[in-house]
Amino acid sequence: MVIFGEKEKKKITLLAFYLKIYITMNKSPSKGDLKDERKRLNQFQTSDMRSEISFRNEELTTNNTKCERNIPVDESQTLLYCTNITQSTESIGEELQRNSKLTNTQVYGTITEEPRRLSSTSLERIDTAQNIGIELKSPYLAGVSVHRFWLIFTVNLISFFIAVFDTTIMISSHPVITSAFESSNSASWLSTAFLLTSTGFQPLFGGLSDAVGRKKPLLFCLSILSIATMWCALAQSMTSFIIARAFCGLGAGGLISLSSIVISDLVPIEIRSIYQSYINVAFGVGSASGAALGGWIADSLGWRWEFGIQIPTLVLCLCTAYIAIPSYLGLTEANKNKSLLQALKEFDYKGSILLTMTTTFLILGLNLGGNILPWKNVFVILSLIISIILFPYLIYVESHTERPILPPKIMFQNPRASIILISCLGSMIAYTIIFNIPIFFQAVMLESATSSGLRLLVPSVVTSAAGTLVGFLISWTKRMKVFLVIGILFSFVGSIAMSFLRRGWQAWVYLIFLVPTSFGQGFMITTIFMSILSVSLQTEQAVVSSTVVLWRSLGTVFGVSLSSLILQNILWVCLDQNVIGPEREEVIKAVRKSVTAIHDLKPLYQDQVRDSYTTALHFTFASAAVLSLICLLACVSLKIPRIGTNRNT
């Protein structure tokens, strides 16, 4: 079956028919006719076919000379050339038809035939066919050409990078900002406001994009992030800045979710792991540069420029996305003919409100408890109770909804339930390490906040490199479970190693101890995302992606809260046992409130407190090892099909 446009097919057919008439009539073509043929051939001329066209033009020149001298033309050569054109285009079409049949697969995990690899010869034929104007099927989905895909992919990659950069930029710069507004006691609300909106609204964009397409929600998120970022740069009060950060979280959370969804719409599952690895690189570089450059920009240029430098790039991404992303992307056949108002009427508003309320109260309780407010505070307790009550009701409502925003079958039916559990636990492991390792360097090693933050650059680079590596390995081997197990094992070994950290070692030793966990996280992030897509329908990929992102974000909150709870409780016991002296009570109270207070202690008390923090952090890192074991147990019975087959690995 030939898969090129009817217009080009007619051109070739008419050319062949025209020449056959002359051959049948044993009539040599005239000089004018040959000029017409030359004109037709020139329409196909491109850089890749210049040599062949040049050869054909030489034949036409020879034939012109023969016509002028009334010498008969060698019709057999002309017919042979025309036949070769037809056979060549047919072979291109047939080969592309064989290689493109996987693009119509509906269930990723049940592909019954190994995907064919395009040879270099095939790729040359594809390029040639595209250059001469024959419209061939793109290797990407949704009818998007190669050039248009790379434009969309670049916009998504940059948008994702900025969203992650904006997420981590406050880590090292919030002391400067809160000091500028003389509101240091409100520092925790900067991260809380951002986290509430980014996590609470993330899953909504997946379901909404199924109803109205990917383009509108993506443009909305880019617009919100652009406006909110400008608001942050111009804020004149702490209250205004916190509200602006909340809107930044809304835009950034939506971009993080939609970027992966758009790529899933366009890239076949057989090669998606490669493109997912690029997303991982953007995540690693964005998070590392945000944490590292935030403080530097605030000190050198002023904190307002942290947000000002983002605005031109965001506006450029917004304009490019408006032009490049097709409006039909992500729409189901049922929704393509519906108006925006009709699609919005069918949206799961009740489930969306319940999901947002459940996650909001959960994050409020976990994030405020032990940080801004004590765990026994009434507001903290009520927030956790409300979230616990709302969650079962949310599941009940979603079970009786035709198009739920959070389908229960995704969360409670294997293998997807196990994959989501591993994703959540993996995020808890990562943030148990990321959140507490700076405390080790500040409280035990007595380093500054800037120095301890810079130590996270190497783990971020390792995570990105590992994610890129496993993306290519998955594409090459078509296996996923083996790499998921490898990632979990590296996380386990790294967590155990970190539970033996001591002061007094060389700087490079600490970096080596951070590598295994970072390497394992890189393997886990890419493999988890690919695994759940491989066992899901194409029509489910938006909701599935949003669900994974939601539980990964909740895992971040769980990891920070659980590790803080373990650290503070064990630290209290260790301080009570280790600190001895007349100023015992004052010392314990001071170091529990602020890590920097350790620098001002007398040498005797300083050593006692540093030893207490060391022991407490050992137990905290050991909890990450326990979480790794739970991941490993959940992975034992997990069945993930190889990409391109229905066999489980």
Q: What is the mean pLDDT of each run of 10 residues along the chain (649 residues)?
A: 53 55 48 51 44 46 44 41 43 45 38 37 43 56 84 91 85 73 68 80 78 87 93 89 90 87 83 81 78 75 87 93 86 65 70 84 79 79 90 86 79 86 90 84 79 76 86 86 92 92 86 90 87 81 82 84 84 85 81 76 84 91 93 87 61
pLDDT at 56: 47
Closest CA to 553 of 291, 170, 253: 253
Percent of the chain topping pLDDT 90: 14
Q: State both tokens at 56.
A: 């054909």
pLDDT at 29: 47
Q: State both tokens at 605.
A: 């008390």
The radius of gyration of the chain from alpha carbons, rounded to an integer in Å, stands at 31
Q: Report in angstroms the alpha-carbon separations of 299 from 182, 303, 307, 495, 596.
A: 17, 7, 14, 34, 20
Closest CA to 564 of 380, 433, 424, 370: 370
Q: State both tokens at 384.
A: 């956790």
Tens digit of each residue's pLDDT (9 = 90 or more) over 156-205: 999 999 988 888 787 767 767 877 777 665 666 777 788 888 887 877 88
Residue type, 409: K
Rounded to 5 degrees, φ, ψ at 648 are: -90, 145
Q: State both tokens at 379.
A: 């507001």
Give me the long-range contacts of 231-235 (CB less than 8 A, separation at least 24).
232/304, 232/307, 233/304, 233/305, 233/307, 233/308, 233/311, 234/304
Pair 443, 503: CB distance under 8 Å: no
pLDDT at 301: 83
pLDDT at 137: 58
The SS3 of residue 251 is helix
DSSP letter assigned to residue 441: I
Tell me the CB-side half-sphere exposure of residue 90, using CA atoms within 13 A. Answer: 9
DSSP letter assigned to residue 447: -
The whole-angstrom distance between residue 577's C-alpha and the CA centroid of its chain comes to 46
Q: State both tokens at 624.
A: 């990450």
**Residues spanned by CATH 1.20.1250.20 within the chain?**
143-339, 404-649
Which residues does 456 contact at the CB level (< 8 Å), separation at least 6? 288, 291, 292, 434, 437, 438
CA distance from start to end of the chain: 35
Predicted TM-score (pTM) of the model is: 0.70
CA angle 34, 36, 42 (to 5 degrees): 105
Question: Considering only the top CATH level, what class is 404-649?
Answer: mainly alpha
Closest CA to 194 of 557, 464, 564: 557
Q: Report d(CA 44, CA 42) in Å as an integer.
A: 5
CATH ID of 143-339, from 3.30.70.100, 1.20.1250.20, 1.10.510.10, 1.10.10.10 = 1.20.1250.20
Closest CA to 398 of 360, 357, 351: 351
